[in-house]
């Protein structure tokens, strides 16, 4: 059967990226009186019969259609770097089979490549039944004995069940609602179904949006329909450079992949392509075809060198950190090999639930209350500003609420009252505030911090990394080490091994051509394989933070506070006789609690959820001198928990500044006066009522 030529745009729409590379033959030349560079940013011309090898396809921009009721829709062009986060609107068109889903969406072991669907009817499978309207996640595409199927994951009561579904399975399959946030680049790479348009809505504007000239109306809150505009990455038979061709170029092409010899073309590779190579390929010498446009100072040799040695590809750990400041926060990825030293900084805890998450077996967590909280439960302790606690563990306790007994979860603590310790229970839903008391100024390596303490953890650089020319962390007033992630890197050096650095795969855009296997020496410990501290932008930070699997449950819901009438209202109303029947208790408050900060791993390997970030600069409340306090803990603590301190500096506490201390003292004083006045008012009212009777 003779194949027909088609336009380049039609070929691009039907192209499956998994089938690349493809070889095309030009059937009609491109002629224009002028420079193609002026139109498309690329200088190129085609002639009849010329062969092109398509090595990649990418989206250069998005045509966004604004859906407005009662008015004419408008379209704007947005680049993939447009700052902002978007939420997907579920596609209402059903898929007729699993095969159609596999052909349309991206499925991979990475979290972003695991779409979620539902079926109005039951799915009878070998491993069991997926109920009607029950959502299932497609996690992997597999082929066994020539039969292809997808692995499906169903979550039921915090347990996961795995099913296999054949691609030939038919039915009506609908895309499930997705409550996560995505950048435009992520939508294009992972969430753009083939042959369908993607509809989204605004979710969040990033700070960098203020510096961007936006073509979207500021107050627009409707739906946005995204249509991608593609660009093809090609190489010619005799050319050495990668040529980018817009898919809208007016030429006709014929797919001749089966008849042509693809080995005669150059083989340019992105860093992701290099990372996917088998381990037997490494090390190898490579020529830099297209150097990175932007790179940090330590990796400057990638822009000046013609050739490099790629020694290996691996996943390595980084610590995601944020500068502790209220405005213009900087974000960092810190390698575990960082040679600087850190000192502890106090942490802030908005709820008792956060205290329970942060407690450690390595040392006693000692905190001071910065906000008052009056409990609604009889049997649980209220909190005053300035109260000091030693945190122990979560317990269940029977309390009285609304006239009824109920079992709630509480946090067991020891309240420091003078020289004594009083065992108390604090509600887990406590909406107050605590600040950590730091008892040592020992200097820690980054690996020691990660081993001894749970993240997030607040530190300050006490000694900069002397192995680098400039340490970007040294100037930070404080850092919050948020979580440990895993990210792909390549170990790249100059041919003479004078410089050898870990190069991030996901954040370095460059193209290499593999030349030959490297048989020279490998970098040794003496030649210092270096890992640089990376300063990342807000979009990359949110990307890294979101793909997380929450390992802890959300905090309990707080009870609904009973509305107390004002004293003026009480004075106007006569006393009422008591009813014999007890009042019915009100239902607890059902407001949705804030989710805790979860931990994550690499850029495209995690679940999605934007956790709360603690950005305020925190100080410490002044506490008693450590000498006698340590003895008191040993004598009076029922759990015999001591506050461990560094032997070199036993009297080393941190204090807040005087202004903050005065503020806390004023709150404490006003709180005491308020309670005294309130009691006096109640006594006066009782006496007046007695006289009237």
**pLDDT tens-digit profile of 301-313?**
898 889 999 999 9
- Residues 117-133 have a mean pLDDT of 90
Map residue 317 onto helix, strand or coil.
strand
- At residue 437, does pLDDT exceed 70? yes
CB 277 within 8 A of CB 312: no
**pLDDT > 90 fraction of the chain, expressed in percent and rounded:** 17
Is the pLDDT at 504 greater than 50, yes or no? yes
pLDDT of the residue at 352: 81
> How many other C-beta atoms can be found within 10 angstroms of the C-beta atom of residue 103?
15
Name, in order, each residue with C-beta under 8 angstroms of 651's C-beta and a sequence gap of 6 or more.
Answer: 625, 626, 627
Percent of the chain's residues with pLDDT above 70? 71
pLDDT the model gives residue 321: 93
Q: What pTM does this model have? A: 0.57
81: phi then psi, degrees, rounded to nearest 5: -90, 10
For all residues of the chain together, what is the average pLDDT?
75
Q: How far apart are CA 290 and CA 276, in angstroms?
A: 19
Highest average pLDDT, of 85-89, 408-412, 674-678, comes from 85-89
Mean pLDDT, rounded, for 496-508: 90
Which comes out higher in pLDDT, residue 237 or 683? 237
291-295, 351-355, 493-497, 646-650: which range is least confident on average? 646-650
* Model confidence pLDDT, tens digit, residues 320-332: 999 987 677 899 9
Backbone angles phi, psi at 552, to 5 degrees: -130, 155
Check pLDDT > 50 for residue 429: yes
Answer with the residue of higher pLDDT: 69 or 50: 50
Q: What single-letter DSSP state applies at residue 186?
A: H
Q: How many CB atoms lie within 10 A of CB 626?
A: 18
What letter does residue 120 receive in the DSSP assignment?
A: S
Cis, peptide link before residue 578, omega less than 30° from 0: no
For 601-657, what is each residue's pLDDT tens digit?
A: 334 333 333 333 333 333 333 333 333 333 333 333 434 333 343 444 444 444 455
Which of 11-25, 89-103, 391-405 is predicted with the least confidence, judged by mean pLDDT?
A: 391-405
What is the pLDDT, as a whole number, of residue 639? Answer: 41
CA 317 to chain centre: 15
Is 387:368 a contact under the CB 8 Å cutoff? yes
Instruction: Name the more confident of 636 and 364.
Output: 364
Task: Note the pLDDT tens digit of each residue in 229-278.
Answer: 888 888 877 666 778 888 888 888 998 988 877 667 777 888 998 998 88
Output the CA–CA distances (angstroms, integers) from residue 598 to 252, 391, 452, 532, 550, in the order listed.
52, 21, 18, 25, 5
- Indicate left, alpha or beta for 41 from its phi (over 0: left) and psi (-120 to 50: alpha): left
Residue 678 has pLDDT above 80, yes or no: no
The pLDDT tens digits for 452-495 are: 888 888 999 999 988 888 888 988 889 999 999 988 999 999 99
Using 50, 70 and 90 to split pLDDT, how confident is the model at 394? confident
Q: What is the pLDDT of residue 426?
A: 83
The predicted pLDDT at position 666 comes to 61
What is the arithmetic mean of pLDDT over 350-369? 83
Identify the sign of the CA torsion 165, 167, 172, 173.
positive
- What sign for the dihedral angle of Cα 597, 598, 602, 603? negative
SS (HEC) of 396-455? EEEEEECCEEEEEEEEEEEEEECCEEEEEEEECCCEEEEEECCCCCCCECHHHHHHHCCC
Q: Is the pLDDT of residue 295 over 80?
A: yes
Among candidate residues 89, 46, 42, the one with its CA nearest the CA of residue 67 = 89
Q: Which residues contact 505 (CB under 8 A, 6 or more apart)?
A: 271, 272, 274, 275, 313, 487, 488, 489, 490
Confidence of residue 583 (pLDDT cuts 50, 70, 90): very low
pLDDT at 527: 53
- pLDDT tens digits, residue range 212-232? 545 677 667 788 899 888 888
Q: What is the pLDDT of residue 671?
A: 56
> Between these two residues, 289 and 117, which has the higher pLDDT value?
117
Task: Band the pLDDT of 439: cuts 50, 70, 90.
Answer: confident
Cβ atoms of 174 and 119 closer than 8 Å: yes
Max avg pLDDT among 63-77, 105-119, 543-557, 575-589? 105-119
The pLDDT of residue 210 is above 70: no
User: What pLDDT does 645 receive?
Assistant: 39
């Amino acid at each position: 059967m003779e194949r027909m030529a088609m336009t380049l745009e039609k070929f691009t729409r039907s192209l499956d990226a998994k089938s690349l590379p493809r070889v095309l033959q030009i059937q009609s030349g491109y002629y224009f009186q002028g420079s193609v560079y002026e139109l498309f940013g690329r200088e190129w011309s085609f002639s009849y019969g010329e062969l092109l090898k398509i090595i990649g396809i990418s989206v250069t921009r998005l045509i966004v259609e604004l859906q407005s009721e009662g008015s004419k829709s408008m379209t704007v062009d947005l680049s993939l770097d447009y700052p902002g986060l978007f939420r997907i609107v579920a596609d209402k068109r059903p898929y007729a089979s699993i095969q159609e889903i596999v052909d349309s969406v991206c499925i991979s072991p990475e979290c972003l490549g695991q779409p979620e669907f539902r079926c109005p009817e039951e799915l009878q499978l070998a491993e069991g039944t997926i109920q009607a309207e029950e959502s299932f996640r497609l996690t992997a595409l597999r082929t066994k004995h020539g039969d292809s199927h997808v692995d499906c994951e169903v979550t039921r009561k915090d347990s996961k069940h795995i099913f296999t579904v054949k691609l030939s399975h038919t039915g009506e399959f609908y895309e499930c609602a997705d409550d996560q946030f995505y950048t435009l680049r992520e939508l294009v790479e992972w969430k753009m179904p083939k042959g369908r348009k993607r509809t989204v809505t605004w979710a969040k504007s990033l700070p960098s949006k203020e510096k961007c000239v936006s073509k979207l109306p500021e107050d627009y809150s409707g739906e946005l329909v995204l249509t991608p505009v593609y660009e093809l990455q090609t190489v010619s038979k005799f050319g050495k450079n990668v040529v980018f061709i817009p898919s809208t170029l007016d030429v006709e092409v014929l797919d001749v992949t089966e008849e042509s010899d693809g080995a005669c073309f150059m083989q340019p590779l992105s860093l992701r392509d290099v990372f996917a190579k088998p381990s037997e390929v490494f090390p190898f010498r490579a020529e830099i075809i297209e150097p990175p446009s932007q790179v940090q100072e330590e990796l400057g040799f990638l822009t000046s060198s013609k050739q490099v040695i790629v020694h290996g590809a691996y996943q390595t750990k980084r610590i995601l950190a944020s500068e502790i400041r209220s405005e213009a926060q900087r974000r960092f990825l810190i390698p575990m090999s960082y040679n600087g030293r850190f000192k502890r900084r106090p942490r802030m805890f908005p709820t008792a639930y956060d205290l329970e998450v942060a407690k450690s077996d390595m040392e006693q967590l000692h905190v001071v209350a910065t906000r008052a909280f009056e409990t609604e439960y009889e049997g649980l302790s209220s909190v005053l500003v300035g109260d000091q606690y030693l945190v122990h563990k979560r317990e269940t306790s029977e309390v009285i609420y609304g006239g009824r007994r109920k079992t709630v979860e509480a946090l067991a603590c020891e309240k420091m009252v003078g020289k004594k310790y009083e065992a108390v229970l604090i509600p887990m839903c406590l909406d107050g505030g605590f600040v950590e008391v730091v008892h040592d100024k020992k200097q820690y390596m980054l690996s020691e911090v990660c081993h001894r303490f749970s993240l997030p953890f607040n530190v300050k650089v006490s000694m900069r990394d002397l192995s680098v020319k400039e340490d970007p962390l040294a100037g930070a007033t404080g850092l919050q080490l948020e979580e440990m992630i895993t990210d792909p890197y390549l170990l790249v050096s100059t041919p003479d091994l004078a410089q050898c650095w870990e190069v991030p795969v996901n954040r370095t855009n460059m193209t290499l051509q593999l030349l030959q296997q490297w048989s020279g020496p490998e970098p040794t410990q003496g030649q210092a394989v270096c890992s640089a501290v990376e300063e990342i932008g807000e979009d990359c930070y949110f990307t890294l933070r979101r793909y997380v699997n929450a390992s802890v449950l959300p905090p309990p819901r707080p009870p609904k506070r009973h509305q107390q009438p004002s004293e003026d209202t009480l004075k106007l109303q006569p006393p009422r006789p008591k009813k014999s029947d007890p009042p019915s208790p009100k239902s607890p408050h059902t407001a949705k609690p804030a989710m805790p900060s979860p931990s994550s791993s690499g850029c495209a390997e995690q679940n999605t959820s934007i956790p709360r970030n603690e950005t305020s600069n925190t100080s410490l409340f002044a506490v008693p001198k450590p000498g006698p306090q340590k003895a008191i803990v040993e004598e009076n603590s029922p759990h015999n928990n001591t506050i461990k301190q560094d032997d070199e500096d036993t009297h080393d506490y941190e204090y807040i500044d005087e202004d903050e201390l005065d503020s806390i003292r004023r709150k404490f004083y006003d709180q005491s006066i308020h309670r005294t006045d309130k009691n006096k008012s109640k006594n006066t009212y009782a006496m007046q009522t007695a006289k009237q009777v």
